[in-house]
Amino acid sequence: MSTRRHRDRHGRGLRSPLFRADVPARLDRADGFARMASAEFARLKVQEPELLAEVVLAIDTVPPVNSTEPSFGRVFPASGDRPTHIVLYRRVIESHSTSAQRQSLIAEVVADQVDILRNA
């Protein structure tokens, strides 16, 4: 007989996870955001492989405290052994868009950051 206790359905919790691990509903917002951003970055990387070959996409929750202007993202140029980074700020983008608009706003922000990189 097993000594392991299972939660039951009598007010003490679920017996198993609500969603299986491979369904999109199981993802939290940060994972969904990261997937949308990386898909958009990969799409742009195919269009401009020579410009974005050494560029890394990063996602941060909020901009740094010492940031003076509000921004959805930022380009950090390469320095020393660190490659160029495009950083997107997840909470700022999420707060300025609905779930239906989020993918288009992410696409716009990534495109803007690539444009800044292209003109630099």
Domain extents in the chain:
24-63+70-119
Residue 104 predicted with pLDDT over 90: yes
Q: Which residue has the higher pLDDT, 113 or 66?
A: 113
Q: What is the pLDDT of residue 2?
A: 52
Give per-residue pLDDT as tens, 50-70.
999 999 999 999 998 888 877
Residue 18 predicted with pLDDT over 90: no
Q: What is the mean pLDDT of residues 91-103?
A: 92
- Class for the domain spanning 24-63+70-119: alpha beta
Q: Which residue has the higher pLDDT, 22 or 46?
A: 46
pTM of the model: 0.76
Buried b (16+ CB within 10 A) or exposed e, 70-100: eebbbbeeeeeeeebbbbbbbebbbeebeee
Q: What is the pLDDT of residue 50?
A: 93
